[in-house]
Amino acid sequence: MLKAIQNLGCSSSGWLLWKTRTSTSTSTSACKTPSFRRFRARSESSPDAASASSSSPVALQSSSSGNVRKISFCQWCGGPTKHEIPSGEEKMRAICTVCGKIAYQNPKMVVGCLIEHDNKVLLCKRKIQPSYGLWTLPAGYMEIGESAAEGAIRETWEEANAEVEVLSPFAQLDIPLIGQTYIIFLAKLKKPQFSPGPESSECQLFALNDIPFNSLAFSSMFVTLNLYIEDVKAGKPKFHYGTIKKRPGTSPSDIHAFTLDYHLQS
Asked if residue 205 has pLDDT above 60, the reply is: yes
CB 108 within 8 A of CB 180: yes
Bridge partners of residue 200, in order along the sequence: 126
Mean pLDDT of all residues in 118-139: 98
Asked if residue 29 has pLDDT above 70, the reply is: no
- Give residue 252's pLDDT: 86
- Give residue 69's pLDDT: 81
Q: What is the pLDDT of residues 233-260, one digit of tens each?
A: 999 999 999 999 999 999 888 999 999 9
Q: Where are the domains of the chain?
A: 37-60+106-265, 68-103
Mean pLDDT of all residues in 129-155: 98
- Give residue 38's pLDDT: 35
pTM comes to: 0.76
**Fold of the domain spanning 37-60+106-265:** Nucleoside Triphosphate Pyrophosphohydrolase (3.90.79)
For the chain, counts of helices (H) and of strands (E): 2, 14
**Fold of the domain spanning 68-103:** Ubiquitin Ligase Nedd4; Chain: W; (2.20.70)
Asked if residue 89 has pLDDT above 90, the reply is: yes
**Length reported for the chain:** 266
Question: Binning pLDDT at 50, 70 and 90, where does residue 176 land?
Answer: very high
Residue 152's H or E segment, with its range, is helix 148-160
- Scored b (16 or more CB within 10 A) or e, 207-242 reads eeeebbbbbbbbbbbbbbbbbbbebeeeeeebbbeb
- Give residue 66's pLDDT: 60
